[in-house]
Amino acid sequence: MRREVPLTIVFICGAFMAFQYFVPHYASATVYEYALNWTTIISIFTLAVGIGSLVNLHSDRIARRKPTWRYSIVTLAALAFMTILGVSSPDALSNPTGLFMKVYFYILSPVQATMFALLAFFIASAAYRAFRAKTLLATLLLLSAVIVMLGRVWVGDMLTGWLPEGLRFSYVANYILDFPNTAAKQAIYIGVGLGVAGTTLKIILGIERTWLGGGK
């Protein structure tokens, strides 16, 4: 019964959510909206579980004096501070001049911008190591990456500004992004969609049971 009950619930809910799109009826839409409300409620509980896991993880690091345990103190202090600010201010999100939004705009946003700026250098370093023109496909990848990068900065226009518009780096970069890149992305999306659909059917039918904790 420990496995049959969850499998039955998943089968009923999954089958209903899959077939309700093909039933244009008021009752079906009402039940669907009701199920979405329950999904929101459940997501709130998962948020609480995630916060509890975060607190336990960093509390253990602090208690055991693990490497970088001082950063765990900063993490927990920031979590408590922002939580108190959000709970004590009902209009925290709608008041741009409040302390909550000031902390968000003047502390969190610059930190995020810094992280993404550093990430660009890591990507460039990884691309330098990966784009080795040893094969034809690797050469095409290298050329495409160089053209797109030069087409996004002023250096590209400076180097090819004297050429006709159709031969400039900016135009070629846009063409690569709009057509070959878009086609590849759509193919990946289709493959991911088919994979998700297949995995979903396996879960609904009880073939895939690893979400129960492993085993058959």
DSSP string of 133-186? TTSHHHHHHHHHHHHHHHHTSHHHHHHHTTS-GGGSHHHHHHHHHHTHHHHHHH
Stretch 132-153: mean pLDDT, rounded? 82
For residues 118 and 96, give the distance between their C-alpha atoms in angstroms, rounded to a whole number: 28
- How many CB atoms within 10 Å of residue 72? 19
Taking alpha carbons only, the member of 16, 42, 13, 12 closest to residue 27 is: 16
**pLDDT value, residue 183:** 94
Stretch 191-202: mean pLDDT, rounded? 92
How big is the CA angle at 115 (ends 106 and 126), to the nearest 5 degrees? 165
**pLDDT value, residue 192:** 95
Stretch 70-82: mean pLDDT, rounded? 93
For residues 53 and 47, give the distance between their C-alpha atoms in angstroms, rounded to a whole number: 10
Residues 97-116 pLDDT 10s? 888 888 888 888 999 999 88
